[in-house]
Structure 1
Amino acid sequence: MPKIVIGLKEGISIEETPGGGVELKSAYIAQTLSKTTPGTVKALLMLAAGGSTQEELEDMARAEDWFLSNLPQYIEQLARLGFLTWSVLEDGQSLARLVVIGQGFNFHLSEIGSDQRFVLSRFAYSRCLNQKTVLETPLQPVRLELDGWLGMALWGLLSRPATYPELCAAIPGADSAIVKLLLQLFAAAGMIQPADEAEGGIPEDRDVVLRLWEFHDLLFHTRTRDGRQDQPLGATFRFWPGIEPLPACKPSMQGELIELAKPNLEHLIEEDYPFTLVLEERHSIRDYAPEAITLQQIGEFLYRAARVKGIRPADPERGAMYEASARPYPGGGACHELEIYLTVGECRGLDRGLYHYDPLGHSLTKLCSENRCTGLILKQAEGSAAKQCQAQVVINLTARFPRLSWKYNSIAYALMLKDVGALYQTMYLVATAMDLAPCALGAGHADWLCQAAGLNYLAESPVGEFLLGSKRI
C-alpha cells in the first residue's frame, strides 16, 4: 500500500541535552527542543532511521503516553527549520521525496477532489542533480526528488490543467492511489496549483505582486541569497588546488598596440571639480557636441576609471589564495573580473573598430576594423539610448566568469553584477568631472562582441554597455 513517510534529512544529528531537551544539528543550524519526553526522543530516532507515517507517530505517541497534542507542533517546528523530508513509498521503494532546503516551510497535505484541475506553476522547473531528476521552485524552500517514472510522467502531463481521474487515465497501468499521493506531494511543494477557470487561472496569476516577477529574476534572487536554498554560499574556494585561478589581469590580446595618455594626478587633485559638484551634476547625456571625443580624453578617462594601480601576488600560505589587483573602482574579493572593450564609431585620433583595454599597461589593442558586428553593436547602443545620438564610443564590459566562480559559491554572478554597477558609477563620475557625456545602457547583445573579439561565450562575454561621447558645453 503506498504511503507518505516523514523522515529527518541526511546529516541531522540528535543529541540529548543535560536539561532534558534534545538538540538537533545540521551543517548550518542547531535547534534545541525543550521539555521533551522519552517518547519524543524515540520518535526523532524513528524519523532518522528511515521515517514513519503520521499515523505511526500518533500510534506511538499514545503508546508511549506523551502528549499527542505536541506532535503536530514538533513536526511543524522541524519543517520550518528545514530538517524534514516527506517521501511517497511503494513496497519500501521511494517514488518521490520532498526535501526542505531552507527555513520557514509549512508543510500541508491537501485533499485531492476528483473534479479539481491542477496545472504546473510557471515558476516550477526540473533539472538533473546528483544523478536524479529534481523539481524546484523559487516560491518555496523545497526540492522534489523524483525516483520513478510515474512522477516524471505526471510532470509532463501537468503542463496543461488536468483532473486526478484524467491523469490516471492518461498513464496506462498507473496505480490511482500512487497518482493521488504524488499529486498531493506536488501541491505541498508548490510545484502545481489548482486551476479555477471560473476565477481566472491559478492563484499565482491573480497575485499582483507575483505577476510582476519573471521566472529567471525570481530564481536568480532566491538562489543568490541565503534562506531558500541549501547550496554553499560565499567564498568556498571549491576548485582549489585542482584548478589554477585566472590571473588578476587578462593576458595581452593580439593586435596593433596603441599607447594611451596618462593624466597628471597631482594637477587633477588641485584643479578637478569638487566631489559634491560632480556627484550632483552626474546624469546620463545622449546629446553630443559636433566634434567627437578624442583619443587623449579616452586615455585620461580609462586611466582615472579603470587602470590597475597595483598587483598583490598570490600567497596561499598566508591566506592570499589568488593574485589580486587594486583599481579605482571596487570589485568583489579584489577579483576584478571585468574587462573593457571599446567599439568606436567616431573618435578623433582613433579609427573605427573594436579595441581591448589593457588596464595594467594602460594601452589599447586593436582587435578588428569596422565590420558587421561592430556596426550592429553601435546601432543597438543607439537604439538603447532611444536614438537620441549617433554613438561615438560604446564601452563593452565583459566578465571573465571563472575569476569569480573559482572562489565563490552561489553568489558569483550576483557579485559580478554589483561590480558592473560599481564600475558604471565610477565611469559616470569620471566622465562628469571631465565634461564628457556618459550614459549607461540597460542591455546589449552578447554574441556580436564575442564574434568580433573571438571570445568564448562561456568563459568571457558581455555583461554591460556604456556610451561615452563629447559633451555640449
Structure 2
Amino acid sequence: MRAPAKKRVSRSTPPTISARLSARITLQTHADGSILACFDGHSVGLGKYSAATCKRAQELRSGLPLASFETSGRAADQELDLLVRRLARHGLMEYRLGRSRDEVVIEPQVADYWPRIARFDDSETLVLSRFAYLRRRGNDMVLESARAGALLRICNPKITTALARLAAPQRISRFRRQDGFPGLELLCLLVDCQILFKVNAAAGTGLRLDEGDDDLVPWDFHDLLFHTRSTEGRQANPLGGLYPFVG
C-alpha cells in the first residue's frame, strides 16, 4: 500500500499595503489631462497626466497596492507614483493594510508621511513605546503616539489583543508563534512610526534609555502629548479656538 500523501501546509497570503483616497476626497479629470482633488467645496490642482494615469487614478477610491507602482521602472507607474505622492503631501491619502478586508487603516498626521517597512530579524525584541496609546474615536479604535507621523485605525479587534502583549518586551521569534500574531508587516509599520521600538537587551540600560536619545529621556507621556497637540507638527487636528459646542 502506498503511504498517504502529505498534506501541504497552507500559508496565508501576506497583507498588502495600499494607497487610498481619504473618504471625503473625489478626483476630477479633464480632457487636457489635468487632475483636481475636490473636497468640502475646494479643489487642489495636481498637474497634467496621461490618459492611462487619469483612468487608473480612479482606482485610488478603493485602493491601489503600493507595490504595483512604487518600485516599478515603467513610465506609467512612475507617473502614478508622482500623483499619489502629491496627494499625500496635501494630506488627501490614507493607507490600508489588509487582505480582502481592512485590518488597519493608516491616517497620516504629517505631510511627508509615507509607509515604510522597517527591516528586522527574528532575534530582535520589540516593545510598545511609553508614548503609545489606544483610544475610542467615534465607533473606531485608534492607536496613536505623540512621536508618530501617522495614527492607525484598528479594524481587526484581534490586533488590540496582540498589542497588549507588547506592553512587555517580546522576542519576535517567540511572539510570531503565539496565537493572534498580527504579522511582520504591521510590526514593521509600527516600528517605522516609533509606536514600537527595538530593545537593546545586551546593553541592559532599561526601556526608557533604549527609546530615543538623551533629549527624549526626560519627557513623560502627558507632557509630550500636550506639547504635540498644542503646536503645529505631528498632528492633523485643527488649531485655535473652534468652539464646537457654541450655537
Q: TM-score range by the shorter chain?
A: 0.7 to 0.9
Match of 1:157 in 2: 165
> RCO greater where, 1 or 2, for CA within 8 Å and sep 6 or more?
2
Distance apart, 1:157 and its partner CA: 1.0
Q: Give the counterpart letter for 2:188 in structure 1.
A: Q
Q: Give the counterpart letter for 2:94 in structure 1.
A: T
Task: Tell me: CA distance 1:120–1:55, structure 2 relative to 1, closer, same or farther (3 Å).
Answer: same
Is the contact made by 1:132 and 1:145 (CA closer than 8 Å) also made in structure 2?
yes
- Determine which of 93, 107, 113 is the counterpart of 2:121: 113
Which SS does the other structure have where 1:150 is aligned?
Answer: helix
Q: Distance in 2 between matches of 1:163 and 1:86?
A: 27
Is the contact made by 1:204 and 1:211 (CA closer than 8 Å) also made in structure 2?
no
Which SS does the other structure have where 1:169 is aligned?
Answer: coil
The 5 Å alignment of 1:224-235 reads 224-235=230-241
- Determine which of 137, 142, 147 is the counterpart of 1:139: 147
The structure where helix makes up a greater share of residues is 1
Q: Distance in 2 between matches of 1:26 and 1:201?
A: 47
Distance apart, 1:17 and its partner CA: 5.8
Match of 1:370 in 2: none
Match of 2:227 in 1: 221
Task: Tell me: CA distance 1:84–1:222, structure 2 relative to 1, closer, same or farther (3 Å).
Answer: same
Task: Tell me: CA distance 1:21–1:70, structure 2 relative to 1, closer, same or farther (3 Å).
Answer: same
The 5 Å alignment of 1:38-437 reads 38-48=51-61, 50-57=62-69, 66-90=75-99, 92-171=100-179, 174=180, 178-198=182-202, 200=205, 205-241=211-247
- Determine which of 9, 20, 35 is the counterpart of 1:7: 20
Task: Tell me: CA distance 1:19–1:226, structure 2 relative to 1, closer, same or farther (3 Å).
Answer: farther
Q: Distance in 2 between matches of 1:27 and 1:112?
A: 42
Q: Distance in 2 between matches of 1:208 and 1:83?
A: 35
Q: Give the counterpart letter for 2:224 in structure 1.
A: L
TM-score, normalised by the number of residues in structure 2: 0.78
CA-to-partner distance for each residue in 1:170-220, whole Å, 9 max, x for gaps? 32xx3x6x5222212322333111222345567863412222332212211
Q: Give the counterpart letter for 2:196 in structure 1.
A: I
Match of 2:9 in 1: none
Which runs of 5 or more structure 2 residues have no equivalent in the other structure?
Answer: 1-12
Is the contact made by 1:154 and 1:167 (CA closer than 8 Å) also made in structure 2?
no
Task: Tell me: CA distance 1:148–1:30, structure 2 relative to 1, closer, same or farther (3 Å).
Answer: same
Match of 1:359 in 2: none
Structure with bigger gyration radius: 1
Q: Distance in 1 between matches of 2:64 and 2:206?
A: 36
Task: Tell me: CA distance 1:58–1:221, structure 2 relative to 1, closer, same or farther (3 Å).
Answer: closer
Q: Give the counterpart letter for 1:139 in structure 2.
A: R
Task: Tell me: CA distance 1:56–1:104, structure 2 relative to 1, closer, same or farther (3 Å).
Answer: closer
Distance apart, 1:52 and its partner CA: 1.9
Distance apart, 1:109 and its partner CA: 1.5
Q: Distance in 2 between matches of 1:153 and 1:98?
A: 19
Q: Distance in 1 between matches of 2:30 and 2:233?
A: 27
Q: Distance in 2 between matches of 1:216 and 1:44?
A: 41
Is the contact made by 1:12 and 1:25 (CA closer than 8 Å) also made in structure 2?
yes
Task: Tell me: CA distance 1:164–1:79, structure 2 relative to 1, closer, same or farther (3 Å).
Answer: farther
Q: Give the counterpart letter for 2:92 in structure 1.
A: F
How many positions carry a matched residue from both structures? 232
CA-to-partner distance for each residue in 1:432-463, whole Å, 9 max, x for gaps? xxxxxxxxxxxxxxxxxxxxxxxxxxxxxxxx
CA-to-partner distance for each residue in 1:312-357, whole Å, 9 max, x for gaps? xxxxxxxxxxxxxxxxxxxxxxxxxxxxxxxxxxxxxxxxxxxxxx
Which SS does the other structure have where 1:234 is aligned?
Answer: coil
Aligned-pair identity in percent equals 24
Q: Distance in 2 between matches of 1:85 and 1:182?
A: 15
TM-score, normalised by the number of residues in structure 1: 0.44
Q: Distance in 2 between matches of 1:58 and 1:226?
A: 29
CA-to-partner distance for each residue in 1:69-100, whole Å, 9 max, x for gaps? 3454444443343222222223x222211111
